[in-house]
Every structure is written in structure tokens, then in C-alpha cells.
Amino acid sequence: MTTLLESPPTLSALMPTYNRFPVILVRGAGCWVWDDQGREYLDFVAGIATCSLGHAHPRLIQAMNDQIQQLHHVSNLYHIPLQQELAAFLTHHSCADRVFFANSGAEANEGAIKLARKYAHTVKGYEYPLIVTAQASFHGRTLATLTATGQPKYQKHFDPLMPGFVYVPYNDLEALTKTVLELEQVAAILLEPIQGEGGVRPGDWDYFQGVRRLCDERGILLILDEVQSGMGRTGHWWGYECLGIEPDIFSSAKGLGGGIPIGAVLCKEQYNVFQPGDHASTYGGNPLACRAALTVGQTIEELGLLAQVHQRGEQLRQGLKALVATYPEWFQEVRGWGLLQGLVLQPSAPFQAGDIVKWAIEQGLLLVPAGTQVVRFVPPLIVTEAEVQMALERLGNALRR
């Protein structure tokens, strides 16, 4: 059994904004990473649902090598063909018609919020547009997306927060409808198809069908945050496909670039109200990031990874359900879609999700908490049957200790 480092080297120049596990990772290949002591770990974190193709994928290496020798960044003052190509790929594989490129999920959600507000002002004539979001949601760390996030623990000490946001329970259509009918000038409803940071909570089919009807009836924009659920993570290109609806606007990041920073705001043509000068991003859509995202998307398509995500996701789900059956005093259920799965602890469990993550590290398995009561499993989309089985075995070993 490996043991955790007592403590990593002191990096005093860094702001202490992260509670880091005491592991220093220096190399990766596929679904595996190695630390500075030569220990290997099976990576079921993937940069938190970001490294779609795993680590050091040969296609991504080749694409990045080629691109950085040609042109890696220019200003958006000029036309960038790779932006056009990537936008065409994304609109072809979604319900969207238009794309704006940013650097991250938070920036993508910021863009979606700005787009909705401008639509409300210029098309609906609203003076004070409101956006309804869900409790336990997570939309980013900027001031607007932090305010949109329905978790007070993330907002503490950062007030005054941005005005214009209202919160309702997730998957509760009655509460949402009541709130919308009581308020004036509701411009948009912003939801995650499956709440990731909020505990891996999938949206209910009937709930999202009702949300879509409510938006249509009231002339409200439906914005979906697909930062964690998009680009094949659920076994579909987008999480909204699991719910049988289409959003008006949605965001993407994380797995979009396979670990190279890129985000995107996507919308249908009739909601494309941005004009030159309304929104911008210095790094957004640079050639290097677009080449990475295009390579990720083409690889997912050419290797048939969506079908593989369904298969490996079901294998993982069944394995985790077996652990629930083995330890019913500790675990209550497994929930999720595709390769975004959560193992939910009993409220009475004598430990928290973070404890399991620490024990798993000692067994050579990397996992990530989703709050204190859920252990999250988000491996690369290329994970194999043998690797899923090995992850389940290592988790079992961690629990048996």
C-alpha cells in the first residue's frame, strides 16, 4: 500500500486558495498519472471532467505541436479560420446556430448571462431583468456567476453580490412555476442538466419538460450550463439530450478543450443579439485552443467514444451499486449519467466524501468529492473496461481498510 506524502514542498508565493491533497503529479499517459516519487495513480478525476482524451493523447500532442509551430495566438481583430471551423463543428453537433469563444466555464456563463440581459433589455423591454437559478447549483467564481451559484458557502465575504438573481429548489417544477408567476421581468432560467458540484444530481425528465414549456409560455430564455455535462461526458454530446429538450442558450468548457483552456457560449439565431463591442475576450478562440477543441471533438466522433461512455458508465454504475449493497450503512445510492457518476453517502456515515478520496489515493486511485456527502467519478472518456474494473477494486480496497 502506498502512503500519502506528509506534506508537499512549501510554495509560499502562491495564494492559499486550494485545499490540495498532498500529491505532486508530474506525468500522465491515458488514464494514468505519476507523482514525483514515481507512484502511479488511476485518474478518475481527469482534471475534474476536463481531460476528455486523458493525458498525452497522441492526437492532441500532434495537433498542439503542429499548431504552435504555425500560429498559437492572434487578436480577435482578425479572422481566425480555426474559430470558424470549430464553431461549425459545434453547431453541427448541437441545436445552436452561433458561438462565442471564451477561456473558461465561468466566462462562458458570464457571456450567457450578458446575452440574456441584453435580449431582455432590447427585445423584451425589461428595465430590471431577473434570472432564476437553482439552489445547490454551481456556475463559476466570477462575481456574476458566483451570484448565480445557489450555494451561500461560495458567496461568503464577497458581497455585495450582483443583483438580478433569484433561487429555487432544483427539480421542483411547482416551486419554479410559483416563483416565475410571482415575479415580473423574469428574463431567463439558468440550470445545469445535471448538478455536478452540487452533488451529481441529474435533472428529472418531467421537470425539464415542464421548464421548457414554462419558458415557451412566458417568453423566458432557457439557459443550460453544460460546462461539466457537455462534450460527451453523459454519453451524448450534450446533457440536454438526456432530457429531451433544447435550450435557447448554453455554455461549454472543461472537456471542450481536453485540458487546453477554452469556453464557449452557444445560442440559437433568434437570441443572438450581441453586436461588435458588446462582448470580447483577449484569449478567447485563439488558434491553439480552437485546434485543441476541434481535435477533441473529431476524436470523440471518429473513435465512437459516445457509445463507449454509455458502456463504461453503465459498468461503473453497476459496480458502485454493488458497493452500496455491500455497505448499506455507509452508502445510500448511485446517481449520474454516463461517466459522471456519484456515490452518495448516508447522512449517518462515520466519514465524509473527502475521507474516501484520501483512502483511495493511498490505493492508487484519484477521485473527487462533490460536496461532503458525494464521491464523484469523472474519468477520461477513453477509459477501458479493465480500468473501470481496476478502479472499482481499488475503491473496494480503500473501503475495506
Please say if 254 is a catalytic residue: yes
Partners of 344 in the beta sheet? 333, 374
Considering the candidates 225, 250, 274, 377, report the single residue annotated as catalytic: 225
Is the peptide bond preceding residue 160 cis, with omega within 30 degrees of 0?
yes
Considering the candidates 44, 100, 138, 208, report the single residue annotated as catalytic: 138
Cα–Cα distance measured from residue 282 to residue 302, given in angstroms and rounded to the nearest whole number: 31
C-alpha cell at 344: 452518495
Cα–Cα distance measured from residue 86 to residue 376, given in angstroms and rounded to the nearest whole number: 30
Which residue in 258, 227, 253, 231 sits closest to 54, CA to CA? 258
Cα–Cα distance measured from residue 283 to residue 288, given in angstroms and rounded to the nearest whole number: 10
Do strands 368-369 and 374-377 pair parallel, antiparallel, or not at all (unpaired)? Answer: antiparallel
Considering the candidates 165, 208, 254, 331, report the single residue annotated as catalytic: 254
C-alpha cell at 146: 458566483
CB 265 within 8 A of CB 251: yes
Do strands 368-369 and 25-29 pair parallel, antiparallel, or not at all (unpaired)? Answer: unpaired
Please say if 178 is a catalytic residue: no
Cα–Cα distance measured from residue 101 to residue 119, given in angstroms and rounded to the nearest whole number: 19
| Element of type H or E holding 180 | helix 173-182
Phi, psi of 339 (to 5 degrees): -100, 35
Single-letter amino acid code for the residue at 255: G
| Element of type H or E holding 218 | helix 205-218
In 3-state terms, what secondary structure has residue 135?
strand
- Provide the phi-psi class of 100: left if phi over 0, else alpha when psi is between -120 and 50, else beta: beta
Please say if 159 is a catalytic residue: no
Active site residues: 138, 225, 254
